[in-house]
Amino acid sequence: MEKKSSIWVYFTLAFGGLIFAYPFLWMLSATFKPEMEISEIGLMSANFSLDNYRAVFNKIPIGRALLNSIFVSSCVTFSAVLFGSIVGYALARLRFWGRELILGVILFTMVIPFQITLIPMYILMVKFGWVDTYMALIVPGMISTFGILLFRQFFLDIPQDLIDAARIDGCSDLTILFKMFFPLSKPVIITVGILSFMGSWNDVLWPLIVVRVRELMTMPQMVTLFKVGGQAESQIGSQLAAAALLAIPIVIVYAFFQRYFIESMATSGLKS
């Protein structure tokens, strides 16, 4: 009886796996096929070529967009971890008037849908003169309230005695944070890092709003405009090739850090 249900389970999972994997495989193979053969179910073709990719590289500076995305996402991640840990530490381990107030404010802002602040944020960028600069892409993402809360949660569990011992030795709070807490906080750092990086990398709406100049566009933004703006000239192969190029970096990272990705999302989900 047990064995029978096992086979059925594997079959279901395999079928599910096929549903999730095949479209990607199809997409990948389609990018290598000439335009006429794309509308086929099968993966193979006699005419594999790199033409579609060449077309993409010829039409849009996608390499530059890749670099932009890497630069922006790295900055955002770095600062989210940095400031998240600093503020998280303050909220977790330091006592000062207004601490609970700030915590309450943070929780409150997480409830506000971003739809309200989107337009004024854009206007702010215009007033600061940050439209079409890296500043507009990076600065609004520099602090992640989620990151702050995750760090705070984690830091709450560190025993007070360790901190007291360090204080008596004359260490400042920043020292305690970076030299003592950080090595112990690898899971949180990785979680916040991955979430920030992914969130920043995949964000399209904000770059669409604040960046109009090609040199500064992020990769998802550029691929979006490539498709929507008609430069692809309804060449499906080129569109799919651009999409594939966009997917590859994060899939590569995913392949290596897959466990961390999944665990990060799971823990963050639980915490909320």
Partner 1 sequence: MNFKMVEQNIKIMKHGCHKQRCAVVCTIILICVFLQCDKQHNGNQQKSDRVQITYWCSSNQDEIDLAKYLVDRWNASHDSINVQLQPIPASQSSEEVLLAAIAAGTTPDLCSNMWPGAMDDFISSGGLVRLDQFPDFVDYISERVPADLLETFRAPDGHFYQLPWKSNPIMIVYNKNIFHDAGVENIPRTYSEYIEAGRKITRDIDGDGNLDVWMSHRDTKPIWWQRFFDYYTFYIAASGGKTLFDGPEIIFNNEASVKVFDFFQRVYKENLFAKTTFVGDAFILGKLATQIAGPWHVSHVEKFRPPGFEYGIFPIPVPDDYQGPVYTFGDFKNISIFSTTEHPGATYKFAKYLITAEADLKLLEYTLQMPIRKDLTGNPLFKDFFMKNPNLVYFAEQAPFTRGMDGVSDLKEIFDAISQEYEACAIFNRREPAEAIKNAAERARVIIEWNRSR
Partner 2 sequence: MSNMLGKIKSSEKSGYLMSLPYVLYFCIFVAFPLIFSFILIFHKWNIVTPMQWIGLRNFVRLFHDIQFFKSIRNTLVFLAIHIPLQITVALFFAIQLNKKIKFRGFFRALFFLPVIVSGVVITILWEQLYAYETGLLNLIITGLGLERIPWINSPEWAMPSIAIMATWKNVGLYIILFLVGLQGIPQYLYEAAEMDGAKSVQRFFHITIPSLNNTMLLVIILSTIGGFSLFIEPFVMTGGGPMNSTLSAMLYIYNQAFYFGHMGYAATLGFFFAFVILIVILIQKKVVERE
Closest distance to partner 1 from the beta carbon of 265 (Å): 27
225 lies in the binding site for partner 1 (CB under 8 A): yes
Asked if 247 is part of the footprint of partner 2 (rule: CB under 8 A), the reply reads yes
3-class secondary structure, 144:
coil
Which among 212, 216, 174, 6 has a CA at the least distance from the CA of 90? Answer: 174
Region of 46-54, 163-171, 197-205, 245-253 interacting with partner 1 (CB under 8 A)? 163-171
Site string for partner 1, 69-108 (x = CB under 8 A): ------x---------------------------------
State how far the Cα of 123 lies from the Cα of 219, in Å rounded to an integer: 24
123 binds partner 1 per the rule CB under 8 A: no
Measured from the CB atom, is 73 or 261 closer to partner 1? 73
Q: Can residue 106 be called a binding residue for partner 2 (CB under 8 A)? A: yes
* CA distance to 42, 114, 198, per residue, from 217 (Å): 35, 22, 17
Q: Does 175 bind partner 1 (CB under 8 A)?
A: yes
Select from partner 1, partner 2, none the partner in contact with residue 147, using the beta carbon and a kind-dependent cut-off of 5 to 8 Å. none
List all residues 6 or more positions away from 34 whose beta carbon is below 8 Å from its beta carbon: 45, 47, 49, 51, 237
